[in-house]
A = this chain, B = another copy of it.
């Protein structure tokens, strides 16, 4: 029988779940006082589960793009939300420095999204909550670089960028936060109950978890997150260099200090050229390169699984395109 056919309660599935969990623990250096959970519903369900469980008085939210905005929208259905920093007015091109953040008086937690896929902006540091629990949506950059996990009380990620297939959500949560889950919580929204049952409160996405265990093995064989970070930095660097050395034909959307290692967003001189670029790039095998309609232009998503050669091929295509149309 394949992993898709065996019972999640069978002895065969146990070591798979354990291997996925240990893989994440090893790769991200997760301390003993954190639990690693595999949930369903994506980051979007976390946008609700987090305030449902932890927003008692008020929470601080930092918004640097569309995902942070969505998280705020859900949290507001639950209680008091302080948007302590937003770059919406400047079109989500930057991220704040740590010392630009002024937390409220005793919020229940601080929430931010460490990489915004649509805008291509990324935090280059682990936000320091100064004693306030930090909750982070790392859906699109987890496992792409080293992080200081102890800075976070809860870090979560939809699996489908860097961890595995869609349909699994990784949640890493500190023990003391588990204790804050209200009594009589709905079981499937109850982090404590899920932790207590080792992610098997009900049938988990067994196939997804199996693939996560394989991705962890792959990453470890590559040299782990540290080695992956070097590769990702190099991949991003050559793309941003191509943009910066194009004499203004290509212009990056994000400010240089905030440039994402995962999503490279840029514009061309006009929309007609952007359309032509997308059409020709697609014909040349670069799929899904069109920017989100809210930003426009081009977006190259270069997650862990995207190889350096792909970036090199894209740069060559970009140079050819400039030569013909610049």
> What is A's interface to B at a CB cutoff of 8 Å?
1, 4-8, 10, 40-45, 47-48, 52, 73-74, 77, 158, 160, 165-168, 184-189, 201-208, 211, 287-288, 305
Contacts and interface: CB of A to CB of B under 8 A. Distances in A.
B43 A166 contact: no
Contact of A189 (B48, B168, B184, B185): B48
29 contacts: A1-B287, A6-B287, A7-B288, A10-B287, A40-B40, A40-B41, A40-B45, A41-B45, A41-B202, A42-B202, A42-B203, A44-B187, A47-B187, A47-B188, A48-B187, A48-B188, A52-B186, A73-B187, A74-B186, A74-B187, A77-B184, A77-B185, A158-B202, A166-B203, A166-B204, A167-B206, A167-B207, A167-B208, A207-B208
A321 B284 CA distance: 65
B202 A44 contact: yes
Chain A at the B interface: SS class: loop
Q: How many of these chains are in the complex?
A: 2
A306 to B, nearest CB: 10
Contacts of A42: 40, 188, 202-203
Given A48-B189, A73-B187, 12 more contacts: A40-B40, A40-B205, A42-B188, A42-B203, A43-B202, A45-B188, A74-B187, A77-B185, A167-B167, A167-B205, A167-B208, A207-B208
